[in-house]
Structure 1
Amino acid sequence: MIESLILICSVVLGVICSKLFLKNKHNSKLLLTFSGAFFLAMTVLEILPQVYGHPSTDHTNHTIGLFVLFGVVIQYILETISKGVEHGHIHLHKNESFPIGIFGGLFLHSIIEGIPVANAESHNFMWAIFVHNIPVSMILFSALSQHTASNTKRFIFMLLFALAAPMGYFLGKHTLISNYSLEMSAIVSGIFLHISTVILFETNEGHHFNIKKFISILIGFVLAYFIVSMHTHAH
């Protein structure tokens, strides 16, 4: 239950940050860069080692790696529907209404992300999604504010998005999907790898060295390492 509440809070925090940070695009990009770095580090330091180090993983073949690659493919398909909201941008014409398809792709993406949280060995999986949801919620709420006139529709869209990851958690905990928790973790790690690397590449405009973005990346890496290390020492 606490996991669902934390994931919902990440969306609420994203809406608040949207009002505070999106007025300054530079600040929002730094936050996005940080989230991408944190996301990538958590995947490499925590999620992938758990997937490949699991007792049921057959180390004589590469089957589990296929699930990771499958996650990359799934994310590629999902972002053609969501138009890349997952990694921090959305392109709509000024007078264009908010497309339902974009929300549908993002909603499905969030459900899939939430599934492995139910059977993860630690809360680090959940915190990775928490951090990632903040800039995604910022972009989504900003797009809804610009392209949806009805406050009621904005609220419904954001409420549904906030419930998506908890829905995934429920599916991973109380349905037959729970029997495939390792495979789902592998798939979601592939999704994480795709999103985080795209975020870091896209925020490096013109391939020029930017000290503020570089520091944001380092902070993301260090924070992820600190969180993973705390969990390791606790055991």
Structure 2
Amino acid sequence: MNWIFLLIVLLATLGGGLIPMVVRKIHPNLPIYLLAFTGACLFGITVMHLIPEVYHELGHQAGIYIVIGFFLQVALQTLSHGAEHGHTHLPRGDHDHVHMTPLLFGLSIHAFMEGIPLGFQFKDHAAMSSLVIGVAAHKLPEAFTLITVMIHGGQKRASLWRTLFIFSLVTPLAAILAAVSGSYSVYVTNIITYIVALVIGAFLHISTTIFFESGTKHHELSYRKIIAILGGLLLAFLTLIFE
């Protein structure tokens, strides 16, 4: 267990949530390009590092669990309204009336799931450090969206701080639980391998949704958004130097 990696994820979550709390006026294009960059980075790391790992461990069964994870994420969105990929599916104006409990529950399940691979023992030495980059990048818009929805819903500042702090702990705690339980039982380690495949499916859904939905009216790709996507993919490719 690399505690520095978990600290990076924790700080990325806190940082993403602090932006809407501290910055009074945010340029409307900032979330769009941040989403495109982080989504592309997460996609690249998932394809280049995580998918080969689970196929090596599970063989053809890996594909089955990746597909299940993809549609499990679709189901979670009925609770979280799509906050995992940095924006919600709520009609404009409905943010004031959104029930926070289902949103927090769905988003916390997702956050817990994405923490489990951080406690997994990858045979690819570059996988863990690369995964941390992808998850940390993903946490920025995820926490940003959560706190933004809460602010629009009229939540008090104390509630914002409390929610952000607790939410920022979910992923690191999941990683610790996976690492500790896996070290005591080979059976648990095997289960975690299947969970990693499920998380890969969720990552694929989130990252590809970001490409086509974030900040667009007709799913168009502006040249600025393309640049942001290419930047995220470049960062993902650079993780290959960890090999």
Structure 1 counterpart of 2:242, which letter? H
TM-aligned CA distance change 1:21 to 1:220, over 3 Å: farther
Q: What SS does the aligned partner of 1:175 have?
A: helix
Counting aligned pairs with the same residue, the percent is 27
Q: Which residue of 2 aligns with 1:27?
A: 30
Instruction: State the alpha-carbon separation in 1 of the partners of residues 18 and 118 from structure 2.
Output: 25
The equivalent of 1:136 in structure 2 is 142
Decide which moves more: 118-127 or 173-182.
173-182
Q: What displacement does 1:40 show? A: 0.8
Instruction: Give RMSD over aligned pairs.
Output: 1.9
Q: Tell me which residue corresponds to 1:162.
A: 168
In structure 2, the partner of 1:214 is: 226
**Separation in structure 1 between the aligned mates of residue 25 and residue 207 of structure 2, nearest angstrom:** 20
Q: Partner of 2:6 in structure 1?
A: 4
Partner residue in 1 for 2:102: 101
Matched, 1:192 2:203: yes
| Cα distance change on mapping 1:209 and 1:184 into 2, 3 Å | closer
- Alpha-carbon spacing, 1:74–1:127, altered in 2? closer, same or farther (3 Å): same
**Structure 2 length-normalised TM:** 0.86
Question: What 5-or-longer segments of structure 1 have no aligned partner?
Answer: none
Taking structure 1 as the reference length, the TM-score comes to 0.88
Taking structure 1 as reference, are residues 6 and 209 closer, same or farther at Cα in structure 2, changes over 3 Å only?
closer
Measured at CA, do residues 225 and 113 of structure 1 come closer, stay the same or move farther in structure 2, by a change above 3 Å?
Answer: same
1:120 and 1:218 mapped to 2: Cα distance? 29
1:118 to partner: Cα distance: 0.8
1:109-142 superposed Cα distances (whole Å, 9 cap, x missing partner): 1001100111143221122110000011111111
Instruction: Show the counterpart of 1:152.
Output: 158
- Decide whether aligned partners of structure 1 residues 95 and 145 sit closer, same or farther in structure 2, where only a CA change above 3 A counts: closer
Distance in 2 of aligned mates of 1:5 and 1:88: 22
Check whether the contact 2:212–2:220 (CA below 8 A) recurs between aligned residues: no
The Cα shift of 1:106 comes to 0.1
Alpha-carbon shift at residue 210 of structure 1 (Å) = 1.0
Deviations 1:48-105 (A, max 9, x none): 11111x2x433xxx21211111111210111111010001112262542652110110
- AA in 2 matched with 1:7: V
Distance, in Å, in 1 between the alignment partners of 2:235 and 2:121 is 20
Distance 1:209 1:150, change over 3 A: closer
Partner of 1:114: 115
- Aligned pairs (5 A) from 1:74-89: 74-89=72-87
- For the 8 Å contact 2:112–2:170, the answer to whether it is kept is yes
- Number of residue pairs aligned between Structure 1 and Structure 2: 226
Residue 212 of structure 2 corresponds to 201
Tell me if the contact between 1:22 and 1:138 (Cα under 8 Å) persists in the aligned partners.
no
Instruction: Give 1:16 deviation, angstroms.
Output: 3.4
